[in-house]
Amino acid sequence: MTIQNQNIAIIGAGIGGLSAAYDLIQAGKTVTIYEAADHVGGLAAGFKEPHWDWTVERFYHHWFASDQYMLGLIDKLGWSDKVLFPRPVTVMYHQGKFYPFDSIPAALIYPGLGWGINKIRFGLVGLFLRMTKNWQALEKTTVDTWMRKWAGDKVYESMWEPMMIGKFGEEFAKTVNMAWLWARLHARTTRLGTFEGGFQTFADKFAERLRQMGVSIYLNTRIQSIQSTKSSKLELMISSPSQPTETKTFDQVLATTSPALLARLAPGLPENYLKGLLSLKSMGAVVMTFSLKHKLSTEGYYWYNIPKNAGFPFLSLVEHTNFLSPDYFGGDHLVYVGDYLPQDHENFDLSQEEIAQKFIPHFHKFNPNFKPDWVKKTWLSRTKYAQPVPLVNHSKNIPEIKTPLHGLYFASMSQVYPWDRGTNFAVEIGRRAAKLMLNEKMLDSK
């Protein structure tokens, strides 16, 4: 017997969930997406003021020229002409000043590495990591150990240790495995891209295409539980403000949530799988976006990398309108200030005003003419699931996409390892999950 029209639910309308839906609906399945937020896009979602032409991401995002999965999907959708690649300037902090660090010539004159052998070692290590594909060997040791051995203490402490502490905090900085850093250096480019209108525009456009193809998308709708039925189907308990809680049955379900949320939704998963989900570590993120009356960076810099020991209460400052013209945003100058933080950090509990008052006094370090009345408006975005923490031999800890509960699949940024989280690999894992789901149904129908 051939089963033609499977009924599939996807939990989460982020880029991974939308990408999976794209392949599933093309294969003739009935697809329904449930999203707890009032918008699609997940962590790549954005917002827009009435006088802006473009949206702004809540958590700063961009694409790399090497993002083959995302750019390939956009090409299939016929929107490649909407992808833009400006050339902004990224800078590094050294002894109270910022220096460009987004090209080989800039790296050669950056004073933080000193001169002579340190720059040679930095260059050779970078070349090796760009060339090698053997990440499996690198995951057996930590970034701290490997870099100190091959790049040397000076290079590591000047270049990579501040990033590790910034990304993973003191708790995890020395325990993250080297495959994670390899992936960042191996795959990324200095060219940064975006979508015409912003990432929210892309997500909305993608969702509308899916609706036209027959996908049902329900926003403001939460899944309360996932349970297996006696007939080997999956029952979802669904709630939304507009209607009472109800249950619906599906042949397959793809969850694109955090590991901890999946564990809460599906307690019927086998104990070992649940234990694996709950053992995964991650850092949260707190990002505040500022609309300013005037340009902050007098040099026109885009991305400021800031070490934790420099005395700033944040990891990075990103002047978005040095990447994209302020004309897209009604003449407003937009600045992101962000940090990766432990999930129990006070910034997850402080008010928006309290966090703004922590950040604003440091703006004069970027522009001595800055005054607090430059700030027109602020927006605060927080998530406790932002940066998975990959420890030594992490590949053995990655949850299988096909869970042990029949018909239930899981695709999250915790599973794109060794690659780092981002929309490119959200596309990849979403479409990989869809392929597994389709293959299972082909086997079931034989």
| Rounded percentage of the chain residues whose pLDDT exceeds 70 | 97
Residue 61 inside a domain? The answer is yes
Which structure tokens are listed for 151? 């790049």
Residue 168 sits in the same domain as residue 222? no
List Cα–Cα distances, 103 to 88, 160, 183, 369, 415, in angstroms. 11, 16, 18, 29, 31
For the stretch 320-366, pLDDT in tens is 999 999 999 999 999 999 999 999 999 999 999 999 999 999 999 99
Which structure tokens are listed for 305? 């990398």
Residue 127 sits in the same domain as residue 265? no
Q: How many domains would you assign to the chain?
A: 2
For the stretch 130-174, pLDDT in tens is 899 999 999 999 999 999 999 999 889 988 898 899 899 988 999
Residue partners of 371: CB distance under 8 A and separation at least 6: none
**CATH value at residue 250:** 3.50.50.60
Under 8 Å between Cβ of 369 and 275: no
Residue 210 sits in the same domain as residue 156? no
Q: How many CB atoms lie within 10 A of CB 378?
A: 17
Residue 121 sits in the same domain as residue 166? yes
Q: Could you please report the per-residue DSSP string of 237-278?
A: EEEETTEEEEEEEESEEEE-S-HHHHHHH-TTS-HHHHHHHH
List Cα–Cα distances, 321 to 82, 192, 297, 422, in angstroms. 18, 14, 10, 21
Residue 134 inside a domain? The answer is yes
Residue 182 sits in the same domain as residue 214? no
Domain holding 111, by residue range, is: 103-187
Question: Final residue of a domain: which of 187, 205, 224?
Answer: 187
d(CA 337, CA 331): 19
Residue 340 inside a domain? The answer is no
Residue 78 sits in the same domain as residue 131? no
Question: Final residue of a domain: which of 132, 160, 187?
Answer: 187
List Cα–Cα distances, 98 to 12, 38, 95, 111, 307, in angstroms. 40, 39, 8, 10, 11
Residue 321 inside a domain? The answer is no
Question: Final residue of a domain: which of 165, 187, 209?
Answer: 187
Residue 310 has pLDDT above 60, yes or no: yes
d(CA 241, CA 218): 12
Residue 290 inside a domain? The answer is no
Mean pLDDT across 167-188: 91
* Predicted model pTM: 0.92
CA 106: distance to chain centroid?
A: 27
d(CA 294, CA 297): 9
Between 210 and 230, residue with greater pLDDT: 210
Residue 318 inside a domain? The answer is no
Residue 78 sits in the same domain as residue 215? yes
For the stretch 282-303, pLDDT in tens is 999 999 999 999 999 989 999 9
Looking at residue 190, what is its pLDDT? 76
Residue 273 sits in the same domain as residue 401? yes
Torsion of CA 295, 299, 300, 304, to 10 degrees: -100
Residue 95, SS3?
coil
